[in-house]
Amino acid sequence: MSVAEIFQTMDYGPAPESAAPAQEWLATHTEGFGHFIGGVWTVAASHFPSTNPANGKVLAQIGQGTDTDIAAAVAAASAALAGWKALGGSQRARFLYALARQVQKHARLFAVLETLDNGKPIRETRDIDIPLVARHFYHHAGWATLLETEYPGYEAVGVCGQIIPWNFPLLMLSWKIAPALAAGCTIVLKPAEFTSLTALLFAQICQEIGLPPGVVNIVTGAGATGAALVAHPDVHKIAFTGSTEVGRQIRQATAGTGKKLTLELGGKSPFIVFEDADLDAAVEGVVDAIWFNQGQVCCAGSRLLVQESIEPRFLAKLKRRMETLRVGDPLDKVTDIGAIVAPIQLTRIDELVRAGVAEGAILFQPVTACPEEGYFYPPTLLTGVSPASRVVQEEIFGPVLVALSFRTPAEAVALANNTPYGLAASLWSESINQCLETAPKLKAGTVWINGTNLFDAAAGFGGYRESGFGREGGKEGLWEYLVASPLPPAQRGDNRGNEGNHYISPVGRGAGGLDQTAKLYIGGKQARPDSGYSRSVLGPGGAHLGEVGEGNRKDIRNAVEASRAASSGWGGASGHNRGQILYYLAENLSYRTAEFAARIAMQTGHDGASEVDAAIAQLFFWAAWADKNEGAIHRTVQKSVVLAMPEPLGVLGIACPTEQPLLGLIQFVAPAIALGNAVIVIPSEVHPLSATDFYQVLETSDVPGGVVNIVTGERDTLMKTLAEHDDVDGVWYVGENASLIERASVGNLKRTWCLKPGALPRHDVFLRTATQVKNIWIPYADELPW
């Protein structure tokens, strides 16, 4: 045999990691695990088995959490809250640091246990999951220390219910627990049924480091246990990672309760390869994108989009690489692809692949043999698919890649955005211009340039659209566990800087004509209401002041269409340009102060002049912010810079407060449009005439048609229609019926912001609520000179 032939035939020998330490630990719990509540272990009423997906054997008996267990855990977390908050960030940092150290000290045990329980290769648990877990606790120990200076005026939201999936059991635990502890929250966490073991070992290290009892509670169990946690009235915040379907249920269940909510849901992330990409690097990227963790990754690059000119060459290289992937014993250090978590998941993958083939997809699987025992699925490539086919649209959550081609960058963007999801995207090109041109156009919370599946505690992670809302990690992630501290009474009032206004002109045009019928304002034009009806507007004494249009569903549809058409141009305009238009609005409103003041007084019986002054000041304030809502550059462990860019949500529906008909409108519309959103506004139902007068100011101030649309009528009915509309990205609602609005929002999981009448959030809350952060990872120097 020649040396060349020896190289050809050489193979890896088995290199198994010993399961002994994990098995010894499990052997000390043969009676079955209880729950970790109030710092002690309870005896569970009943158990269910946790199995090893690599061989189907039972590893342990896990406690089935009941409503009583959840109630006890929430009570323990509530009792611990005041003390944990009062400890202060610096003291809490010591506990986070101790947790990080303990995770590192037990790293091998955690890694082996995770691999046994989940089926993922030991190489991944050892080199990725567990180091990242430690990193999360270290990083958030830092945020705990810096909390008071970096988040002034904010405090812990309270008791947090956290529900995590099975694909990264300990990593997802750390993503949830580390920021919550740093913020001063206490926690009840429910791990996934399939993978509770590392969470239970983590509970043990919480005991070892002397974490105060009740600060972290772990209740294991099924979906019903999670549902009981979501429903518990003493939980202030729910953080969930899992399927979009369960995310919707949780949105419904929390609607109107005032609980803070973050959802990290599914995805169907595009992996885009341009013709000038380094093809070999991109092939390795695909391996990481879809075969990491058997493709059971919410942000897996499961849709390969390749430029047509290189498609045959790229797919040939990819197939060759697939032939070398090793499927097998997850504890073997040379295994690339381990076991699928459970038979039900294996069946789902298989069914979806068969459905794809039935729809005409061409199946490619390498000749790799999968082990007979356990739940294994080979790496799979489906070509010849159409953009609408099921396998291209649905999350398969397995080692299955679908491939499509595109001709132009514009087509790549259109295909990439052609799903309801928006979790992540990966771009491959040697041209940084091409990548930076494309990244802003993608509807995705994370964009990796010439990389994929990169995670770090310093960079926020989370979705656009139906991939959920909220961010985990980075400075932005900590906001999700904080609320503004109540201000002392002396400081209440408008803290948004509406002092000083040099534009008020005494010149006005009088009170305007009486008994007019104001139309709606859609797409920059006044429009008759579809219903043909109008409603009377009465003054404080019951006098008839005029009429406004009675808007209906059709008017809302038209307004949404107009907003959508305007939103990309407006959102893409520079902050400077938007700021100029807000200044112009302020100036034009100030010329009509007397007229607007008189109209306000006529409707409400209150002094209108000070309200107009305050509205003008608000326009100034938000004009100032239009070009100052800067993002951040995150410093990650990897050799990357991560640009955290706040982007507008897109199309926003806004229901204004009833009182203060002009100021109530401006307070919400000005920040929304300053930050690049197009809006559909439902003005005060009782005093709508200031809003309809405002059309003329909009028309004379260069506001592009469709950026601000105003539909008068029954506020809650119109707002419900907006909340149900799948082409609206967010709704802001001031009123008493938050439950109605939040429930209606589940269709496309739009962002909702519901406030009680009279609530006046701080300006930074507006900045965060009007935008969502896109994290763009850019490779940055292999070796740094310092």
Q: Which stretch binds ligand NDP (CB under 6 A): 50-58, 178-186, 197-205, 219-227?
A: 219-227
- Asked if 289 and 453 touch (Cβ cutoff 8 Å), the reply is yes
Among 32, 38, 131, 223, binds ligand NDP (CB under 6 A): 223
Helices (H) and strands (E) in the chain, counts: 27, 32
* 333 CB burial (10 A radius; 0-12, 13-18, 19+): middle
Q: Which is nearer to ligand NDP, 223 or 575 (CB)?
A: 223
With tokens 């990080």, the residue in question is: 100
Q: Which of 160, 185, 298, 656 is catalytic?
A: 298
Q: Which is nearer to ligand NDP, 352 or 412 (CB)?
A: 352
Joined tokens for residue 108: 């091998």
Per-residue binding letters, 392-411, with ligand NDP (x by CB under 6 A): ---x-x--------------
CB of 350 to ligand NDP, least distance (A): 12
Among 193, 311, 555, 611, binds ligand NDP (CB under 6 A): 193
Which residues are registered as beta bridge partners of 405? 306
Strands 362-364 and 380-383: antiparallel
Q: Which stretch binds ligand NDP (CB under 6 A): 190-198, 310-318, 731-739, 752-760?
A: 190-198
Q: Which is nearer to ligand NDP, 348 or 606 (CB)?
A: 348
Q: Which is nearer to ligand NDP, 201 or 623 (CB)?
A: 201
CB of 190 to ligand NDP, least distance (A): 6
Site for ligand NDP in 161-180 (CB under 6 A): 163-167
CB of 60 to ligand NDP, least distance (A): 15
> What is the SS3 string spanning 26-72?
HHCCCCCCCCEECCEECCCCCEEEEECCCCCCEEEEEECCCHHHHHH
Among 321, 348, 553, 606, binds ligand NDP (CB under 6 A): 348
Strand runs labelled E in 533-590: 534-538, 544-549
Per-residue binding letters, 225-254, with ligand NDP (x by CB under 6 A): -xx--x----------xxx--x--xx----
Q: List the alpha helices (DSSP H) in 652-779.
A: 663-674, 689-699, 715-724, 738-744, 763-769
Among 190, 471, 496, 715, binds ligand NDP (CB under 6 A): 190
Per-residue binding letters, 120-159, with ligand NDP (x by CB under 6 A): ----------------------------------------
Q: Which is nearer to ligand NDP, 319 or 348 (CB)?
A: 348
- Residue 190 identity (one-letter amino acid): K
CB atoms within 10 A of CB 430: 13
Among 266, 270, 477, 650, binds ligand NDP (CB under 6 A): 266
- Asked if 690 and 683 touch (Cβ cutoff 8 Å), the reply is yes
Our answer to whether residue 714 is catalytic in this structure is: no
Q: Which is nearer to ligand NDP, 5 or 245 (CB)?
A: 245
Name the helix (H) or strand (E) containing 231.
helix 223-231
**DSSP string covering 689-724, please?**
HHHHHHHHHHHTTTPPTTSEEE--S-HHHHHHHHHH
Q: Which of 114, 264, 395, 466 is catalytic?
A: 264
Comparing CA positions, the residue from 422, 101, 367 lying closest to residue 244 is 422
CB of 324 to ligand NDP, least distance (A): 27
Q: Which is nearer to ligand NDP, 89 or 165 (CB)?
A: 165
Site for ligand NDP in 292-311 (CB under 6 A): 298
Comparing CA positions, the residue from 656, 517, 683, 504 lying closest to residue 595 is 504
CB of 341 to ligand NDP, least distance (A): 8
* 630 CB burial (10 A radius; 0-12, 13-18, 19+): exposed
CB of 177 to ligand NDP, least distance (A): 15
Our answer to whether residue 476 is catalytic in this structure is: no
Residue number of the CB closest to ligand NDP reads 226
- Asked if 162 and 237 touch (Cβ cutoff 8 Å), the reply is no
CB of 393 to ligand NDP, least distance (A): 13
Which residues are registered as beta bridge partners of 681? 654, 710
Query: How far is residue 444's CA from residue 416's CA, in Å, rounded to a whole number?
Result: 9
Which positions are annotated as active-site residues? 264, 298
Binding site for ligand NDP (CB under 6 A): 163-167, 190, 192-193, 222-223, 226-227, 230, 241-243, 246, 249-250, 265-266, 298, 345, 348, 395, 397
